[in-house]
Amino acid sequence: MVYVLLISVFVIASCGLVYELIAGTLASYLLGDSVMYFSTIIGTYLFAMGIGSYLSRFIGRGLVARFIQVELIVGVIGGSSAGMLFIVFAYIESFRLILYAQVIAVGVLVGLEIPLLLRILKDKLEFKDLVSQVLTFDYLGALAVSLLFPLILAPRLGLVRTCFLFGILNVLVAAWATSLFRDQIARLSSLRVQSAAALIFLLAGFAYGERLTTFAEESLYTDEVVFATTTPYQRIVITRWKDDVRLFLNSHLQFSSRDEYRYHEVLVHPGMQWLKSPKRVLILGGGDGLALREVLKYDSVESVTMVDLDPEMTRLFSSNELLRQLNGGSLRSPKLKVINADAFVWLGESTDTFDFAVVDFPDPTNYALGKLYTTTFYNLLAHRLNEHGAAAIQSTSPLYARKSYWCIVSTVESAGFHATPYHAYVPSFGEWGYVLATKLPYSVPTVAMKDLKFVSTILLPGLFQFPADMSRVDTEVNHLNNQVLVRYYESEWHDVSQ
Amino acid sequence: MNRREFLALGAGLTAGCTRNARLITGSFVGASHDIGHMLRSGSIPAPTMERRVPVVIVGGGVAGLSAGWHLARNGFQDFEILELEEEAGGNSRSGENRISAYPWGAHYVPPPTKDSRYVRELFEELGVITGYANGEPVYKDEYLCFDPQERLYIHGRWQDGLIPSIGATDQDREDLDRFEEIIAGYKARHAFTIPMELSRQDKDLLELDSVSIRDSLDARGLRSPALHWYVNYACRDDFGCTSGDVSAWAAIHYFSSRDTNQNAVLTWPEGNGWIVKRLRERLRNSIRPAALVFRVTQDRVDYYDIHEKTSTTIHADRIIFACPAFLARFLVENAPATDAFEYAPWLVANLTLEAFPMQRAGVPMAWDNVIHDSDALGYVVATHQSLRVHQPQTVFTFYYPLAGSSPKSERARLLNTDWKAWTDFILDDLSKPHPEIRELVSNIDIMRWGHAMVRPRPGFMWSEARRRFTKPFGRIHFAHSDLSGVSLFEEAQYRGVTAAQWVLDR
């Protein structure tokens, strides 16, 4: 019986540390400033444990029953803490108040556990053995969790489910103790019912826990969110439904794996195919590595420079299995150099020149992004291209945002480029537009690269034909001091969404 | 949850749990009032050294620097600029922190008119004007204020532009249209020019100087509150006084002196500090900083070196006195009377923001953001001219002309109010459109300009008292925008260049 109880110490200690680690991790994940939250949460937690130890002296009779109840409450409160904090974070304003209140509650309860156990065991062991063994198992439990948590539990199970798992362990300890001391407990059946209820609650939490993390966001996306993170630059969300993987940046769809090849083949090949043997390529934006995948299909390419603001994008798309399958591991190419910088600023400071540039920015939905579609930007771009160079620019939809599209064409022209407009149908986006900015007049390649999924020799000329409903309209040129494009874009997409 | 909501939530949490918890650092910066006091108390040691410099320019603001620039451009190098502060630049000085450069005063120049030929020359030299198309200057895009330029917070919303349109009545619109017609009429006559000295001096025009713009509007039957607010705002913004204290001539000059109808302005993160930085570089061997000039006569300038704590006499053939005109009374022997020159006190604060305020009702953040129901002028965003797409932090420059009562009592209020109280005043004002402002600001530095700009009150613009200062005074020539009655970059430069030309002509 002594060993059984010592194993309980081990489990209890692991549970106690897990709740502490989870509170700290969750706070730094949700609130940032990890040093501050980790440190204050550990401090608060230890202090609360002290309070618990102090309070243990007021528990006199029915020691075992009290211990079991403490276990049950720790299991329920601690086990559901991560899930509850996730929900609370999204819906309640005084999040930190609740965070610390919860840390204190769990801390006090965990602080009660060991003193109570010591007292339960005091008649079964000699004092020196008792202290030595209980504390040994206490610290062993802590060690086990401190290793398991970062290496296996947090990455595999996630915070919410890990938390529920350890809540279940607490409740199991309670159930075990209930049967162990059944002849010493007055209201046995009541405790059994309580244990069962706590267990069912936690098991349910464990089963559906995964959903909780994305619960708040799920309603925004039709598909299941498989990854979501907030970087200093944007909110990255990846969803999946069967084989359709979608990337959203700040809730704007960037691609769907079902048809992204259409978008990226059309973005890259009409320009690359026209150049004799493009060697040096620049990709602005495009941290998903999908345009890069197309660029690397040309053997003549010697080096690719990718400028993407957010290091998390390139990290994610070069390390995540699922995403690496999409870009064919392009981000691991030895020809690639990734620069995490603001594209406009980098363009002004760089002295490199390129044969081909892919300009794949988000649509001009605000004045900050609108800067990337101005004469000043295209002038700088011109300086980075060789005398025969070309740039392919994603340019929103010529059908839904006709004026916006032709405004980009006019702006590219006013920067001294030959601007060649073209378009393709990408089902998840709709009819989509591009502009080829070239220093020499462009002519449609007579042959396309073989074995592409969408672009072909026969298809190529059609990309450059504009039907009447999206043919050229007169627009102003987009300048930094007169961002007409953002105004066009706003009114046109507003009309579409009506 | 997208990033914006996330930030908003974060701001809300912070606000909910730790109201006023962010420690805001900062202090008063700039002109030492002790040094000015030293001047008045007469505790400066007598000169122990002497030198000879053919031309001395007293004051390194835009007028003084422009005088030096014009002399140097014409091959004349034998001059020295004496500047009180550690750094020349005057009202156009600027600062810089880890986030951005920012202005301490003047922060933009409108595209120079044809008459402002020296401004155009300077801008060609600095690469601001890259060429001419159909006779009109072409400006470097990066120096024109990015879109959106201005917005106004009125009735709980931000509207585009500064002329009140939300809640405007038919009467407002009618009066605003009539006002526009009146201005168009003056423009068509080419009645008002920059430099102002070249303006037409027809009788009906000069008569405008005898009334305030407020009375002048009333006399024309223009009583729209929206129009009156707008004109009063313009007077506070450009002259540091309310429309009842501004000569109708000066105010109409402001509205009618520009060539184009375009609202464009040239600006930089550090405001006109960008220009004076370049002038300082060109003149670095001729500027003596920390030089407190305490006596100017027809042939000598005495100054006290604040670092060396010694005084020196410079014997000079010509002296350009490029200080605010009121200082002539204290410094220049037998100077003409300066009583007619009155000055508006201003407070300028630079606020460091760790995050942008939340986007609430109305149009997005602009360069110039004005609050309708406020005595202050709102704020200018220093990072607006940044090419960065991702700009998490910023600096706001808050402008407040103390135009409430007499300049003297307002100046006393400016100097006697402590930093904490000013900080509360600023944050209270900005919390009208941005309730979470206290959670975003980490530092507030405040510059107190006791004599920020000359007040163009009725009767002053074409007074003999002003005109006397525009003419040579023996071997001394005054040079300052004060002499034009309006505090404009172009006027300061014109006065500097005119004085320099007077030197060259001899």
The DSSP secondary structure of B307-344, one letter per residue, reads: TTTEEEEEE-SEEEE-S-GGGHHHHBTTPPP-TT--EE
Chain A residue at shortest CA distance from B366: A367
Instruction: Output the pLDDT for position B1.
Output: 39
With CB atoms and an 8 Å threshold, state whether A342 touches B17.
no
Distance CA A61, CA B146 (A): 76
CB atoms under 10 Å from CB of A215, counted, come to 17
Nearest CA in chain A to B11: A93
Does a structural domain hold residue B372?
no
* Contact (CB<8Å) A371/B146: yes
Residues B242 and B78 sit within 8 Å (Cβ to Cβ): no
In whole angstroms, what is the distance from residue B107 CA to residue B112 CA? 15
What pLDDT, in 10s, does the model give residues B104-130? 999 999 999 999 999 999 999 999 999
Q: Lowest mean pLDDT: which of A120-129, A351-360, A486-495, B293-302?
A: A120-129
Nearest by CB to residue A482, choosing from B2, B3, B147, is B147
pLDDT score of A285 more than 80: yes
pLDDT confidence bin for A90, thresholds 50/70/90: very low
Question: A57-76: per-residue pLDDT in tens?
Answer: 888 878 888 888 898 999 99
- Give a yes or no: residue B397 inside a domain: no
* A344:B146 CB<8 A: no
* Long-range contact set of residues A298-303: C-beta below 8 Å, sequence gap at least 24: A298/A272, A298/A449, A301/A335, A302/A335, A303/A279, A303/A335, A303/A336, A303/A337
Q: Do A250 and B2 touch (CB under 8 A)?
A: yes
Q: Contact B3/A480, CB-based, under 8 Å?
A: no
Which of A217, A233, A481, A485 to mutate against chain B (most B CBs within 10 Å)?
A481
Q: Are residues B249 and B312 in the same domain?
A: no
Taking the CA of residue A272 and the nearest CA in chain B, the distance in Å comes to 28
Interface A–B counts its CB contacts (< 8 A) at 86
Q: Is residue B21 part of a domain?
A: no
In this prediction, residue B33 carries a pLDDT of 62
Q: Which chain B residues touch A348 with a CB distance below 8 Å?
A: 387
Q: What does DSSP assign to residue B211?
A: S
In this structure, the strands spanning A235-241 and B343-353 are unpaired
The model's confidence at residue A94, banded by pLDDT at 50, 70 and 90, is low
* Residues A125-163 as b or e (16 or more Cβ within 10 Å = b): beeeebeebbeebbeebbeebeeebeeebbeebbbbbbb
Percent of chain A topping pLDDT 90: 52
Task: Say whether both B191 and B246 belong to one domain.
Answer: yes
In a domain, B389, yes or no: no
- The whole-angstrom distance between A30's CA and the closest CA on chain B is 9
Of A151, A155, A174, A208, residue with least CA distance to A15? A174
Q: Is residue B141 part of a domain?
A: no
Confidence of residue A122 (pLDDT cuts 50, 70, 90): confident
A96 contact residues in B (CB cutoff 8 A): 13, 17
Distance from C-alpha of A371 to C-alpha of A474, rounded to nearest angstrom: 21
pLDDT digits (tens, 9 = 90+) for B432-477: 999 999 999 999 999 999 999 999 999 999 999 999 999 999 999 9
For B16-75, write each residue's pLDDT tens digit. 444 444 799 999 998 666 676 777 777 889 999 999 999 999 999 999 999 999 999 999
Q: Are residues B300 and B335 in the same domain?
A: yes
- Grouping H, G, I as helix, E, B as strand and the rest as coil, residue B297 is coil
Q: Average pLDDT in the B345-365 region?
A: 93
Query: Minimal Cα distance from B10: which residue of A?
Result: A31
**pLDDT for the residue numbered B13:** 42
Q: In this complex, which of B6, B12, B147 lies closest to A367 when CB atoms are compared?
A: B147
Taking residues A90-119, report their average pLDDT: 82
Q: Which of B149, B384, B387, B394 to mutate to test the interface with A (most CBs of A within 10 A)?
A: B387
B128 occurs within a structural domain: no
**pLDDT at residue B45 in the model:** 92
Residues of B with CB below 8 A from A345's CB? 387-388
Check whether A393 has a pLDDT greater than 80.
Answer: yes
Q: Look at residues B221, B256, B291 and tell me which one is the last residue of a structural domain.
A: B256
Phi, psi of B310, deg, nearest 5 = -130, 160
Q: Is the pLDDT of residue A33 over 60?
A: no
Please report residues of A whose CB lies closer than 8 A to that of B146. 367, 371, 480-481, 483
> pLDDT by residue (tens digit) across B155-174?
999 999 999 998 899 999 99
For residue B175, give its domain range.
Answer: 164-256
* The domain boundary residue, chosen from B256, B274, B298: B256
Longest dimension (CA), chain A: 95
Q: How far is B355 from chain A (nearest CA, A)?
A: 12
Domain boundary (B256, B271, B293) is at: B256
What pLDDT sits at residue B4?
43
Domain identity same for B234 and B308? no
Six-digit token string for B467: 């005109």
Q: Do A250 and B3 touch (CB under 8 A)?
A: yes
Give the pLDDT confidence score for residue A210 in this predicted structure: 64
Q: Which of A33, A360, A363, A495 is catalytic?
A: A360
CATH number of domain containing B252:
1.10.405
Q: Do A96 and B390 touch (CB under 8 A)?
A: no
Does the structure show a pLDDT above 50 at B11? Answer: no
Among A198-212, A265-279, B131-145, the minimum mean pLDDT is found in: A198-212
Residue in chain A lying closest to B267 (CA): A481
Pick the residue from chain A with its C-alpha nearest to B386: A345
Q: How many other β-carbons are positioned within 10 Å of the β-carbon of residue B451? A: 20
**What residues of B are in contact with residue A235 (Cβ under 8 Å)?**
1-3, 6
Mean pLDDT along residues A337-344: 95
Residues B215 and B175 in one domain: yes
**Contacting residues for A129 by C-beta, under 8 A, at least 6 apart:** none
* Together in a domain, B336 and B464: yes
Query: How far apart are the CA of B356 and the nearest CA of chain A, in angstroms?
Result: 13
Residue of chain A with shortest Cα separation from B19: A94
Which residues of chain B does A343 touch, with a Cβ-Cβ cutoff of 8 Å?
A: 389
Residue A360: active-site member? yes
Q: Which chain A residues are closer than 8 Å to B144 by Cβ? A: 479-481
Domains of chain A: 2-214 (1.20.1250.20), 258-497 (3.40.50.150)
Q: How confident is the model at residue A188 (pLDDT cuts 50, 70, 90)?
A: confident
Beta bridge partners of B137: B132
Q: Who contacts B60 (Cβ-Cβ below 8 Å, separation ≥6)?
A: B81, B82, B83, B85, B88, B89, B90, B280, B287, B289, B322
pLDDT band with cut points at 50, 70 and 90 for residue A189: confident
CB distance B389–A93 less than 8 Å? no
Q: Give the pLDDT score at A225.
A: 67
Over 90: is that where the pLDDT of A135 sits?
no
The partner residue sitting opposite B16, judged by closest CB among A93, A232, A250, is A93
Question: Per-residue pLDDT for A416 more than 50?
Answer: yes
Strand locations in A167-323 (E): 224-230, 235-241, 244-249, 252-256, 280-285, 303-307
Distance of residue A427 Cα from the nearest chain B Cα, in angstroms: 25
Question: Which CATH number fits the domain that encloses residue B318?
Answer: 3.50.50.60
B481 within domain boundaries = yes
Asked if residues A420 and A387 have their Cβ atoms less than 8 Å apart, the reply is no
User: How close A138 comes to chain B (CA, Å)?
Assistant: 35
From B210, B232, B237, B256, select the one nearest B462 (Cα to Cα): B210
Q: Cβ contact (<8 Å) for A94 and B16?
A: yes
Q: Per the structure, how many domains does chain B have?
A: 2
Contact A31 B392 (CB under 8 A): no
B431 within some domain: no
* pLDDT, tens only, A11-23: 888 888 888 888 8
Alpha-carbon gap: A234 to the closest alpha carbon of chain B (Å): 6
Predicted TM-score (pTM) of this structure: 0.76
Q: Mean pLDDT of all residues in chain B?
A: 92
CB-closest option in A230, A234, A376 to B142: A376
* Nearest beta carbon to residue A345 from set B12, B264, B387: B387
Which of B1, B17, B141 lies closest to A481 in CB terms? B141
Q: Which of B305, B247, B219, B280 is nearest to B38 (CA)?
A: B305
